[in-house]
Amino acid sequence: MGMGTPGDLLTFAGLGYDLFDCVLPTRNARNGMLFTREGRLMIRNARHVRDPRPLDESCTCYTCRHFSRGALRHLALAKEMLGAQLATLHNLHFYLTLMREIRADLCGR
């Protein structure tokens, strides 16, 4: 469909779209780009090497509750499948939470 960034979802949900089919969250996760409330996070960057924080402080996904940025960076650089799986879990959780919040705002709940 050609859309899929969090900004795209906000725009198109405002126009009435409620269903999206996009590989962006999973493909980007496998390549080390994660979505957070503060924006995009590139987990392979050296600044995360010893970072004990979760990907997103406000996120409640399994990845953020159990793994640090440093651990995820190590997994990504080692090309461990677990790193790609954890990143994918996080990005999907981020997107599901974002859409849940958008729907609640649009419906006035």
Q: pLDDT for 4-39, tens place per residue?
A: 788 878 788 787 777 776 788 899 999 999 999 999
Q: Is residue 42 part of a domain?
A: yes
Q: Is residue 99 part of a domain?
A: yes
The token pair at 79 is 């090309």
Nearest alpha-carbon partner for 13 in 102, 109, 108: 102
Tell me which of 16-30, 48-62, 82-96 is least confident.
16-30
Range(s) of the domain holding residue 88: 6-15+22-103
Q: Is residue 109 part of a domain?
A: no
Q: DSSP string spanning 45-104? A: SGGGTT--S-S-TT--SHHHHH--HHHHHHHHHTT-HHHHHHHHHHHHHHHHHHHHHHHH
Region 80-85 average pLDDT:
98
pLDDT band at 71 (very low <50, low <70, confident <90, very high): very high
Q: Is residue 30 part of a domain?
A: yes
Region 84-91 average pLDDT:
98
Cα distance between residue 68 and residue 100, in whole Å: 25
Q: Is residue 79 part of a domain?
A: yes
Q: In total, how many domains does the chain have?
A: 1
